[in-house]
Amino acid sequence: MSAWSWVTQLLYVAAAVCFVLGLHLMNSPASARRGNQVSTAGMTLAIVTTFALVIHSGTVKPAGWAVMIAGTLIGAGAGLYMARTIEMTAMPQLVSLFNAVGGGAAALVAINDYVHVTGSTAGVAESVTIFTILDVLIGAVTFSGSIIAAGKLQGLIDGAPITFPGSRAVNFGAAAVGVGGAIYLLVSPSVPVLIIIILAALAFGVTMVLPIGGADMPVVISLLNAFTGTAVAMAGFVIGNWALIIAGALVGASGSILTKLMADAMNRSLANIMIGGFGTGDTGPAIEGPGGDVRSIQADDAAIQLAYAQKVIIVPGYGLAAAQAQHAVAELATVLEERGVEVSYAIHPVAGRMPGHMNVLLAEANVPYPQLREMDEINPEFPRADVALVIGANDVTNPAARRPGNPVSGMPILDVDAAKSIIVIKRSMGHGYAGIDNELYVNPKTSMFFSDAKSALAELTSAVKTLVG
């Protein structure tokens, strides 16, 4: 091993150390920014090292330089523009898009390597082919799957599960062609067969994500994130680069953990989500709850309850984000705090369209992060709360989850019904994603404030202010 190889490999190891440290520093909001800076430094180091390697190779033709630099600059410009302008509510789409391009780039690395190696007379070493094929398959599935996921989140594609006659068959067919082609390639290298398995993998990605409903997106994004990481690690095997292997493995681990957390929080198995079709809203039979009268409330009465409470816990759900009401809720909380009310937010793991999404939306609305409380941490505090204010959250508050025999059974929920009184802001008595009645709404302690989240919060804020005056 030459001195040059030693130095470049060590620099890659240093970059990998930065990635691990960067992720480690994300264990607290206070140090997370530094973590991102450390990670950025590692990435810069890795890219500069690679650039030095490219120069050192001495085989790059002018056209090669041109495409490399032009591609990088154009991509960097596009990435920068999107990162600067994206709305926080649209974060899941952006992450999905970055998964797509990351997976796509990883697949291209393998495709190029394969075409190059089969073109040479030496033939293909079997060990190289396995990783090449895995990289191509996973990368292509991630690419098309993530684009479909981003399209669904952006509303370009219907968010409801999409199935067409034979869609399941197409999905299985694509998987069969991909696996069959992969086995063929292990026996006899062939570029046309490689193209066939790329197309099969792209088709598989599309038919995998189309039948999955919008509310399952936190799981899907996490899973595709894990896929991208794995594809990048495979690309590392293909070109023999440790930095790619380590970085890919880290992302694969992160995506897997988040996938499991999200699936658990939704009380669904991964297989159940991937098979899809649940929660279409029209096929799920509505299971009747115990019934009972619903008490509705007006802004003034709700404001009095809130203003004279000692402790208020706000339970935001996706409906809050959908109504763009995160700033309105933060304003109400500020007014209440000025009166001496203790306010905190109970955040269910799947509140939002990706893991932790609600926290970012509230942080953007200037809510200090010590007020953002995780489910396990806040649940024991509900009995002490004078008012639990539920905004746009439904299934995650349904006490029916504690009983067996219904679609939400066993789902971890926020113990909202333990609060001394409950105010639910909701547009109508419509069902949540699970398609069942929420028993919380007929609880004698519960008052329903039927309104759009944003205008309801504005009314409450001004009513509380009037009380102060």
Partner 1 sequence: MTPDLLTDITIFVLAILVGFEVISKVPATLHTPLMSAANSIHGIVLAGAMLIAVTAHDALGYILAFIACAFAAANVVGGYVVTGRMLKMFKRTRTPVPAAAEPAAVSGNGQAPAATKPGGAA
Identify residues 377-416 at the interface with partner 1 (CB under 8 A).
Answer: 381
Cβ atoms < 10 Å from Cβ of 310: 12
Q: Which is nearer to partner 1, 162 or 336 (CB)?
A: 336
Question: What is the contact mask toward partner 1 in residues 38 to 77, using x (rule: CB under 8 A)?
Answer: -xx--x--xx-xxx-xx--x-xxx-xxx-xx-xxxxxxx-
| Residue 33 or 427 having the CB closest to partner 1 | 33
325 in contact with partner 1 (CB under 8 A): no
Which uninterrupted H or E stretch holds 377?
helix 375-378
Q: Of 57 and 188, which CB lies nearer to partner 1 in the complex structure?
A: 57
Q: Which two tokens stand for residue 418?
A: 């333990």
Q: Contact, 15 vs 42, CB < 8 A?
A: yes
What CA–CA distance (Å, rounded) separates 318 from 183? Answer: 44
Residue 367 engages partner 1 in binding (rule: CB under 8 A) = yes
Phi/psi region, residue 279 (left: phi>0; alpha: psi -120 to 50; beta: rest), is left
Catalytic residues, by residue number, are 395
- Show Cβ contacts of residue 110 under 8 Å, excluding neighbours closer than 6 positions: 131, 132, 133, 135, 136, 139, 234, 235, 238
The correct pick among 33, 295, 403, 427 for binding partner 1 (CB under 8 A) is 33
Least Å distance between CB 241 and partner 1? Answer: 6
Q: How many residues bind partner 1 (CB under 8 A)?
A: 135
Does the footprint of partner 1 cover residue 134 (CB under 8 A)?
A: no
- Compute the distance between CA of residue 1 and CA of residue 295 in angstroms, rounded to an integer: 77
For partner 1, the closer of residues 136 and 436 by Cβ is 136
Burial letters 227-264, b for 16+ CB under 10 A, else e? bbbbbbbbbbbbbebebbbbbbbbbbebbbebbebbbb
**Positions 205 through 234 that interact with partner 1 (CB under 8 A):** 221-222, 225, 228-229, 232-233
Rounded to a whole number of angstroms, the minimum distance from the CB of residue 203 to partner 1 is: 20
Based on the shown chain and the rule CB under 8 A, indicate whether residue 26 belongs to the binding site for partner 1: yes
Residues numbered 108-127 forming contacts with partner 1, rule: CB under 8 A? 108-109, 111-112, 115-116, 127
Q: Are 463 and 300 in contact (CB under 8 A)?
A: yes
Using the rule CB under 8 A, which residue among 186, 292, 374, 380 binds partner 1?
Answer: 374
Residues in CB range of 310: below 8 A, 6 or more apart: 341, 342, 386
| Residue in the structure block whose two tokens are 């109508």 | 428
Q: How far is the CB of 355 from partner 1 (least distance, A)?
A: 4
For partner 1, give the closer residue by CB, 171 or 225: 225
